[in-house]
Amino acid sequence: MKMPYMGKILVVDLTRGVMEEETIPDRVYEQYLSGMGLGAYILYHRVPPGADPLGPDNILGFCSGLLTGTGSLFSGRWMLVGKSPLTGGWGDANCGGTFSPAIKRCGYDALFFKGTSRDPVYLYVKNGRANLKDAGDLWGMDAVETEELLKERHGAKAAVAVIGTAGERLSLISGVCNDRGRIAARSGLGAVMGSKRLKAVVLDGVKRIGVHDRAEMKNLSKHCIKWVNLPLPLPPAGIFARAGALMRVTPVLLAQDGLLYRSILKKWGTAGMNQVSIEMGDAPIKNWDGSNVDFPLEKSRKISPAIIREREIMKYHCYSCPLGCGGISAATGKYARIHKPEYESILALGALCMNEDLDSVYYLNELLNRAGMDTISAGGTAAFAIECYEKGILTGGDTDGLELKWGNTEALVALIKKMIRREGIGDLLADGVKIAAEKIGKGSMEYAIQAGGQELPMHDGRNDPGFNVHYSLEPAPGKHTTGAHLYYEMFQLWKKLKDLPNPGLFITKDGKFEIDEDKARAAAACSTFMSLANAAGMCLFGLFLGATRIPTFEWLNAAMGRQWSPEEYMVIGERIHTLKQAFNVKHGIESRDNFASGRALGVIPQQEGANKGRSVDIEKHAPLYWKQFGWDTETGKPKPETLRKLGIE
Ligand code: SF4
């Protein structure tokens, strides 16, 4: 029977310069699929407890999704996995682009790197032959320059994943790029790659990817594309801010249907949400201390979706994506054609730092992409530094003379350049807010907004408490790509899994803040589903179409020749999710240490703005959430009987 997985991984020992192919038994794919599931399986068993994330015992994995290359849609995400130097526990980051199918075309489901090379190297795989090559000439180059040079050297068809200078300098907020600056940014895994002195991975293969029932895959994709292309009248972008303002004041909201978000993504990309999010209270402002009152319409107008779209010169689609939420933009100065900044980057480098200068946001976004530094973490860390300066915790003597005032664009640009170069104050900040606050002391930890050491993304959990639940309780904390109340509404999983609660058509704002069993089941379903989706290689934005429109379970069945039910697939998601949590236990992570910062939780509620008076009691959420997975309700540790039930050795 033809299977959508390649059945093999490549393990590269960088200390010894040795590469070995390993065959993975079918039962592993049945239990974990591929992608993040396979990554969790390998890392859980092979990274020893106490391993230094930046030492030779850590393993860095590049994993392709089980559905990648099968004719399914939205299935081209690759997963980067490793022990995170930023959080000390399970780390993952995921990225689109074109790298994921290239892994499989080289004959592997994943590539794993262990050990540490003495000198900079890159891996080159061509038609089944893998070689480590000298990267001495590439070390010190930015990610885009390196990718261009490697494509010149090995052919334009080669797919390249690469670190920039931030990863080389072991910045704990660095990631790994592909496709000219699209970045698997989170968890600090660029530093792991840098610590291994692995500059790049270059893949050029032609292997065919098997599928059990290609005709059925096609039929299912046709069904999905119908929903992607379904015409829906869209309001002009100018109305978004007013819609956000209305959502701020109304006590009852319509449950969100992902079709509307699909249309916004298609036309404006994630930047379509810029103003709506600020107005409704989704976007954190002024290092999470401000609100829409501090960043009113006169300011947010400068980052309106219409303005971002005006600068776009063409759409950008990841592999196998019919939607194309990305874009290539025209820019002035040194970099003429750049990736359009995403919502996360625009807000992190903008309103979070009270910066209203859009040109600087484009410029910083490109600098950070080229350096391979996470824009969310960089913006969050800059905002922290500005607040410390404004409060007198940092002085001009500490900041190399930079006047870190809210809205001082020039100082912000200079600060981020210093962070990239690890120069002066930038060296202190290049490892993120938590480490910086530990070094600075003087009560600065209060202003370091993070979960488990990772800077929080641009979605305020005081607006949607589900974000705070997932920021605090996921094995990889501080990420926005697994769940929220909003995500549960859009996934519409209850249409496939009859035991899951249906949130109904109308959602009361106060109701979102109630803590009960149904909320915990919904949150657990998001975590489980996203663990499954990340094993399949699916894009979150595709999944927002809703479970009956994007046939994830059906594609998996057609690709593998199975007749498994959605419930059976969710057990796979549960197993992967539990294994990541078990990884954290093995590496000494206490679940409560991952809870989000007090300010983000609203421990002291805000006095004005969209989220006035709101707080989230994560201590009450945690036991209910842990219970759904059979984890100890006091500690969050998976119980032995749970591990046994899931077949985790
Ligand atoms: S929706 Fe956007 S991020 Fe997702 S696969 Fe398509 S282009 Fe990539």
Domain containing 298 equals 256-448
CATH number of the domain where residue 33 is located: 3.60.9.10
Of all atoms in ligand 1, which is nearest to the CA of residue 324? 7
Cα separation, 434 vs 188, whole angstroms: 13
- Looking at the fold, whether 567 and 527 belong to one and the same domain comes out as yes
Q: Are both 184 and 110 inside the same structural domain?
A: yes
Give 263 Cα–ligand 1 centroid separation in angstroms. Answer: 13
CB of 96 sitting under 6 A from ligand 1: yes
Which of ligand 1's atoms lies nearest the C-alpha of 97? 8
CATH number at residue 628: 1.10.599.10
pLDDT at 238: 83
In a domain, 237, yes or no: no
Point out which residues pair with 280 in neighbouring strands: none
Render 447-512 in DSSP notation, one character per residue: G--EETTEEP-S--TTTSHHHHHHHHHSSS-S-SSS--HHHHHHH-GGGT-TTSPP--SEEEHHHH
Ligand 1 centre and the CA of 522: distance in Å? 25
CA–CA gap between residue 484 and residue 491 (Å, rounded): 10
Task: Please indicate whether residue 264, judged by its CB atom, sits closer than 6 Å to ligand 1.
Answer: no
Structure tokens at 583: 């990884």
Domain final residue, candidates 386, 419, 448 = 448
Average pLDDT value over all residues in the chain? 97
Which pLDDT does position 510 carry in this prediction? 94
42 and 174, same domain (yes or no): yes
pLDDT reported for residue 128: 85
Cα distance between residue 536 and residue 67, in whole Å: 5
Amino acid at 547: A
Find the 140 Cα to ligand 1 centroid distance in Å.
Answer: 30
Can you say whether the dihedral through the CA atoms of 580, 583, 589, 592 is positive or negative? Answer: positive
Position 227 in a domain: no
> How many C-beta neighbours within 10 Å does residue 584 have?
26
Beta-bridged to residue 266, according to DSSP, are none
Tell whether 231 is covered by a domain: no
550 lines ligand 1 (CB under 6 A): no
| Best residue for ligand 1 mutational test, from 183, 325, 545, 552 (most atoms within 8 Å of Cβ) | 325
> In whole angstroms, what is the distance from residue 283 CA to residue 278 CA?
5
Best residue among 68, 74, 179 to mutate for probing ligand 1, ranked by most atoms within 8 Å of CB: 74
**516 and 425 inside one domain:** no
Indicate whether residue 544 lines ligand 1 (CB < 6 A): no
Q: What is the pLDDT of residue 237?
A: 84
What percent of the chain lies above the pLDDT cut of 70? 100
The two beta strands, 159-162 and 198-204, are antiparallel
Question: Taking a C-beta distance cutoff of 8 angstroms, is the pair 318, 73 a contact?
Answer: no
pLDDT confidence tier of residue 334, bands split at 50, 70 and 90: confident
What percentage of the chain carries pLDDT values higher than 90? 97
Compute the average pLDDT of residues 365-392. Answer: 98
Nearest CA to ligand 1 atom 4: 539
Burial class (CB in 10 A: 0-12, 13-18, 19+), 222: exposed
For residue 592, the tally of other CB atoms under 10 A from its CB is 15
Look at residue 236 in the predicted model and tell me its pLDDT.
86
* Euclidean distance between CA atoms 216 and 514, whole angstroms: 43
Are the C-beta atoms of residues 561 and 1 closer than 8 Å to each other? yes
Does residue 286 have a pLDDT over 80? yes
Please give the number of the atom of ligand 1 that sits closest to the Cα of 269. 2
CATH code for the domain in which residue 310 is found = 1.10.569.10
Q: How many domains does the chain have?
A: 3
Does the pLDDT value for residue 336 go beyond 80?
no
How many Cβ atoms from other residues are within 10 Å of residue 312's Cβ? 17
338 and 476 fall within a common domain: no
Residues 440 and 496 in one domain: no
Q: What is the pLDDT of residues 170-213, one digit of tens each?
A: 999 999 999 998 999 999 999 999 999 999 999 999 999 999 99
In which band, very low, low, confident or very high, does the pLDDT at 252 lie, cut at 50, 70 and 90? very high
Would you say the pTM of this structure is higher than 0.75?
yes
Position 235 confidence tier, pLDDT thresholds 50, 70, 90: confident
Does residue 541's CB lie within 6 angstroms of at least one atom of ligand 1?
yes
pLDDT of residue 159: 98
Q: Is the dihedral of CA 13, 14, 16, 20 positive or negative?
A: positive
The CB of 326 under 6 Å from ligand 1? The reply is yes
Cα dihedral: 579, 584, 590, 593 (round 10): -110
For the cut 80, the answer to whether the pLDDT of residue 233 exceeds it is yes
Max Cα-Cα span within the chain: 68
Residue 210, domain member (yes or no): no
**Cα angle 156-160-165, degrees, rounded to a multiple of 5:** 125
Q: Is residue 232 part of a domain?
A: no
pLDDT digits (tens, 9 = 90+) for 25-41: 999 999 999 999 999 99
Say which DSSP state 406 is in. Answer: T
- Residue 202 CB–ligand 1 contact under 6 Å: no
Atom of ligand 1 nearest to the CA of 539: 4
In-domain check, residue 218: no
Beta strands in 264-336 (DSSP E): 312-316, 326-330
589: pLDDT confidence band, cut at 50, 70 and 90? Answer: very high
User: Are residues 556 and 474 part of one domain?
Assistant: yes
d(CA 465, CA 161): 35
Indicate whether 85 and 124 sit together in one domain: yes
List 314's β-bridge partners, or say none.
328
**Whether residues 198 and 130 fall in one domain:** yes
Confidence band (pLDDT; 50, 70, 90) for 399?
very high
What φ, ψ does residue 537 adopt, rounded to 5°? 90, 25
* CA angle centred on 140, ends 121 and 326, rounded to 5°: 90
Which of 73, 261, 265, 321 has most ligand 1 atoms within 8 Å of CB, for mutation? 321
532 CA from centroid of ligand 1 (Å): 18
pLDDT at 331: 76
323 lines ligand 1 (CB under 6 A): yes
Q: What is the pLDDT of residues 608-649, one digit of tens each?
A: 999 999 999 999 999 999 999 999 999 999 999 999 999 997
**Residue where a domain stops, chosen among 391, 416, 448:** 448
Q: What CA–CA distance (Å, rounded) separates 12 from 14?
A: 6
Q: Is 216 part of a structural domain of the chain?
A: no
pLDDT at 332 over 80: no
Write out pLDDT tens, residues 99-127: 999 999 999 999 999 999 999 999 999 98
Convert the pLDDT of each residue in 58-92 to its tens digit. Answer: 999 999 999 999 999 999 999 999 999 999 999 99
Domain closes at, from 414, 448, 482: 448
Measure 515 CA to ligand 1 centroid, in angstroms: 33
Distance CA 438, CA 404 (A): 20
For the cut 80, the answer to whether the pLDDT of residue 493 exceeds it is yes
Q: Are residues 407 and 497 in the same domain?
A: no
Q: How far apart are the first and last CA of the chain?
A: 28
User: Which atom belonging to ligand 1 lies closest to the Cα atom of 322?
Assistant: 6
- Decide if 14 contacts 115 (C-beta within 8 A): yes
Structure tokens at 435: 């480490």
Q: How far is the CA of 460 from the centre of ligand 1 (A)?
A: 23
Q: Name every residue whose Cβ is closer than 8 Å to that of residue 80 and which is 6 or more positions away in sequence.
A: 60, 61, 62, 63, 92, 93, 94, 95, 175, 176, 184, 187, 189
Residue 66 lies in a domain: yes
Residues 493 and 588 in one domain: yes
Q: Is 540 in the pocket of ligand 1 (CB under 6 A)?
A: no
pLDDT tens digits for range 507-559: 999 999 999 999 999 999 999 999 999 999 999 999 999 999 999 999 999 99
Check whether residue 46 and residue 171 sit in a common domain.
yes
